[in-house]
């Protein structure tokens, strides 16, 4: 058994208190001691360190429980900021958040062609512009975190983005060289699952499924993210649904789930020969509402394949709940019930599977990405105090 050094224990205690401040938003010293189990002297010492270093501030007086009113503590959210990036296959979303993971500014640029070098330069340009617009802060840019719509290994190296044909791309090192701050790179499904887990701490068995320009997922079991041996456990979009398919998927295989259930596929099917093609999922949703026959036929096929894929995942994972993140379902929430109706679970004894729409929406992966950078910043600082 590894014995913790005194320095390690202090760093762990500091981080434990910092996490409570992040979770509770506003809390007193006495409440911290009660929640963490640390003695009041330890809490007071650490709180002073955190105040002196600008990580937290004292706010208003709390409610008295019989004695003096307690002084409440909260994060110093504007002490620094991070950049969170959603690297999609059609566009790159770049956001700035404060240390409380509140979105402060954002921009978006289209992905042009399949050249990594060209798109990397455009990404760096967007980040530089957002950084230059930020007012000065004590800790400045504390990190960059990227959500990738592709396969990312446990070291943060992009192994494959099928739609863009990018292979073995060390975006993490390149961004670190450019900006000289800690950089985190992970799959968008995993980051979305982390964010949803924080949003819904009561669910320990969870599948988070994103139906966007590509299909991605995050798997949570026993309250922990399931990554697999090499980090590829969530690549559910490339499970085979149709072994007789003759068109290749972007990944090189045939009949992958993503071939039938991405937003791009749905738009393509609904627009084929249409007099007034849709340019977005919101426009397609309106065509479905007014009874456009081609849009509705494309939707039926989409829902068939989506339900089959979800049913397969239910039998593999047996999650307590599925959280669905989709622009289409956000525009037409009644479709959730339609998917549940199509799911058949004869051997489970259950009538259906609980499915909820994500409350985080299109910002789920960005929220998870920013949280990783913020936690990394605090963890490093707590060790150095």
pLDDT digit string, tens, across residues 301-359: 999 999 999 999 998 888 999 999 999 999 999 999 999 999 888 776 666 789 999 99
pLDDT band of 1, cuts 50, 70, 90: very low
Name which of 40-54, 64-78, 258-272, 334-348 the model is least confident about.
Answer: 64-78
State residue 67's pLDDT score. Answer: 57
- Comparing 23 with 382, which gets the higher pLDDT? 382
Average pLDDT, the chain: 92
φ/ψ region of 223 (left if φ > 0, alpha if ψ in -120 to 50, else beta) reads left
| Residue 276 pLDDT > 90 | no
Rounded to 10°, the helix 29-36/40-52 angle is 120
- Comparing 370 with 25, which gets the higher pLDDT? 370
CA distance 236 to 313: 8
pLDDT band of 3, cuts 50, 70, 90: very low
> Per residue in 156-204, pLDDT tens?
999 999 999 999 999 999 999 999 999 999 999 999 999 999 999 999 9
Domains and CATH numbers, the chain: 6-75 (1.10.10.10), 78-191+364-384 (3.30.420.40), 195-361 (3.30.420.40)
pLDDT band of 65, cuts 50, 70, 90: low
Other beta carbons less than 10 A from residue 2's beta carbon: 5
CA distance 150 to 158: 7
> Per residue in 71-121, pLDDT tens?
999 999 999 999 999 999 999 999 999 999 999 999 999 999 889 999 999
Mean pLDDT computed over 273-297: 93
Strands (E) across 54-118 are located at 56-61, 71-75, 80-87, 91-98, 103-110
CB 216, CB 225: distance < 8 Å: no
| Residue 68 pLDDT > 80 | no
Share of the chain above pLDDT 90, in %: 85
CA distance 372 to 377: 9
């Amino acid at each position: 058994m590894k014995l913790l050094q005194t320095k390690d224990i202090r760093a762990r205690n500091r981080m434990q208190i910092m996490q409570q401040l992040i979770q509770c938003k506003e809390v007193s010293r006495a409440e911290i001691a009660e929640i963490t189990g640390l003695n009041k002297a330890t809490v007071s010492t650490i709180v002073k360190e955190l105040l002196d270093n600008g990580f937290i501030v004292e706010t208003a007086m709390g409610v008295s429980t019989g004695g003096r009113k307690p002084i409440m503590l909260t994060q110093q959210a504007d002490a620094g900021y991070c950049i969170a990036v959603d690297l999609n296959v059609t566009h790159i979303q770049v956001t700035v958040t404060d240390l409380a993971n509140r979105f402060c500014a954002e921009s978006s640029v289209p992905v042009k062609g399949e050249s990594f070098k060209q798109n990397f330069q455009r990404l760096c340009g967007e980040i530089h512009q957002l950084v230059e617009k930020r007012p000065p802060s004590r800790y400045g840019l504390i990190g960059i975190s990227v959500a990738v719509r592709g396969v990312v290994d446990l070291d943060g190296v992009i192994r494959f983005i099928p739609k863009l044909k990018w292979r073995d791309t060390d975006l993490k090192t390149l961004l670190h060289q450019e900006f000289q701050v800690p950089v985190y790179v992970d799959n968008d499904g995993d980051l979305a699952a982390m964010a949803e887990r924080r949003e819904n701490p009561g669910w320990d068995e969870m599948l988070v499924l994103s139906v966007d320009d590509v299909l991605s997922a995050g798997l949570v079991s026993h309250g922990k993210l399931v990554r697999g041996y090499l980090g590829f456990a969530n690549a559910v979009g490339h499970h085979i649904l149709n072994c007789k398919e003759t068109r290749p998927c972007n990944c090189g295989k045939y009949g992958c789930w993503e071939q039938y259930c991405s937003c791009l596929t749905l738009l393509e099917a609904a627009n084929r020969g249409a007099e007034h093609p849709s340019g977005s999922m919101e426009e397609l949703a309106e065509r479905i509402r007014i009874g456009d026959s081609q849009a509705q036929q494309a939707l039926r096929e989409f829902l068939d394949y989506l339900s089959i894929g979800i049913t397969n995942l239910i039998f593999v994972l047996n999650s307590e709940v599925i959280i669905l993140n989709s622009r289409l379902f956000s525009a037409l929430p009644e479709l959730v019930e339609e998917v549940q109706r199509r799911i058949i679970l004869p051997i489970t004894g259950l009538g259906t599977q609980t499915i909820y729409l994500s409350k985080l929406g299109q910002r789920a992966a960005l929220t998870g990405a920013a949280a990783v950078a913020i936690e990394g910043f605090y963890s490093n600082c707590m060790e150095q105090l």
